[in-house]
């Protein structure tokens, strides 16, 4: 193990402090087999991030932006319960400049935990979305709506879910949806041209073949890969099945931290380091698409 560490550290990555900041958690976290590949070293777009109320005190804005910088995260989708967390990030001009992190603000549908299971039929949620859209943030207009959850597929047909999809389509807002494959179809039935980031790409274990079927059917669907079951094997490397999916559909996936609890914030560096390991198992150009370009393109970042 030491030999591998030494050879990596004295190889072509030597001298780059930023890369070393990525490598240390990778080397600490990953089994030996995963250390034999060269981790992806380019920028990451964290397309699924929450800065919820519970995180604010233990993880102040300066700290979280510093953690992102250390992990090589150069842009984030920010969506927080309540939306104050997103605004706090958007308003921290000096820290943003220092960290170099770009903020893409999303409207969260949740004022509190009760809203998770009722938003799709609650007209006051729709009103909140309209108010937030009108107000915007210090980082500019909101660019999307979500993450929202639908624990039952048929709730995608709730009246507020339908209106929100149609609003997103009309206003060119990206949707971040934690839903199953049946709900993806229902959401697109409401708004066929909407752009949807599919949070976790089917956390309930939707088969990879079904994921591919939906990607082919809905050209504006992008899969976000946090918590995706079956993605990696015990060594932290890609499973053969998912490696093939990425090679066949390199433009259709992105990464996210999903910092839904403070435990995820505590593991932020490790989560990104884990991504860098399996991305290193792909051709560099494809790794860069999944880590950065696909999400950057969605929001018009260079
Ligand atoms: Zn989430």
- 63-101: per-residue pLDDT in tens? 999 999 999 999 999 999 888 899 999 988 888 888 899
Rounded Cα distance between 203 and 4, Å, is 34
Q: In what order do the strands lie in the sheet with 144-149?
A: 44-49, 73-78, 102-107, 144-149, 174-178, 195-198, 221-224, 253-254
- 232-254: per-residue pLDDT in tens? 988 889 999 999 999 999 999 99
Question: By the 8 A CB rule, do 237 and 31 touch?
Answer: no
- 115 CA from centroid of ligand 1 (Å): 14
Question: By the 8 A CB rule, do 133 and 163 touch?
Answer: no
- 90 CA from centroid of ligand 1 (Å): 19
Rounded Cα distance between 174 and 23, Å, is 32
- 28 CA from centroid of ligand 1 (Å): 26
- 66 CA from centroid of ligand 1 (Å): 21
- pTM for the whole thing? 0.88
- 167 CA from centroid of ligand 1 (Å): 21
- 152 CA from centroid of ligand 1 (Å): 17
- 179 CA from centroid of ligand 1 (Å): 11
């Amino acid at each position: 193990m030491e030999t591998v560490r030494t050879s990596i550290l004295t190889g072509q990555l030597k001298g780059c402090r930023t890369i070393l900041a990525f490598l240390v958690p990778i080397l600490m976290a990953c089994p030996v087999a995963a250390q034999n590949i060269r981790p992806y070293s380019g920028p990451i777009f964290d397309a699924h991030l929450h800065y919820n109320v519970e995180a604010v005190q233990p993880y102040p804005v300066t700290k979280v932006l510093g953690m992102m910088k250390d992990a090589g995260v150069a842009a984030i989708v920010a969506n927080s319960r309540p939306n104050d967390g997103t605004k706090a990030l958007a308003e921290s001009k000096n820290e943003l400049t220092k960290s170099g992190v770009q903020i893409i603000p999303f409207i969260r549908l949740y004022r509190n935990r009760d809203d998770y299971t009722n938003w799709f039929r609650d007209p006051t949620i729709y009103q909140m979305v309209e108010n937030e859209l009108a107000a915007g943030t210090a980082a500019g207009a909101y660019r999307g709506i979500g993450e929202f959850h639908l624990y039952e597929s048929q709730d995608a047909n709730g009246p507020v879910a339908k209106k929100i999809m149609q609003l997103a389509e009309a206003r060119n807002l990206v949707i971040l949806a934690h839903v199953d494959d049946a709900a993806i179809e229902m959401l697109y039935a409401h708004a066929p041209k909407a752009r949807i980031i599919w949070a976790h790409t089917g956390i309930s274990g939707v088969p990879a073949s079904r994921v591919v079927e939906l990607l082919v059917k809905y050209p504006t669907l992008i899969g976000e890969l946090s918590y995706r079951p079956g993605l990696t094997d015990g060594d932290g490397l890609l499973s053969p099945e998912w490696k093939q999916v990425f090679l066949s559909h390199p433009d259709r996936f992105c990464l996210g931290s999903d910092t839904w609890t403070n435990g995820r914030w505590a593991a932020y560096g490790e989560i990104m380091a884990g991504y860098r390991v399996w991305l290193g198992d792909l051709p560099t150009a494809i790794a860069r698409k999944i880590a950065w370009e696909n999400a950057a393109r969605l929001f018009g970042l260079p």
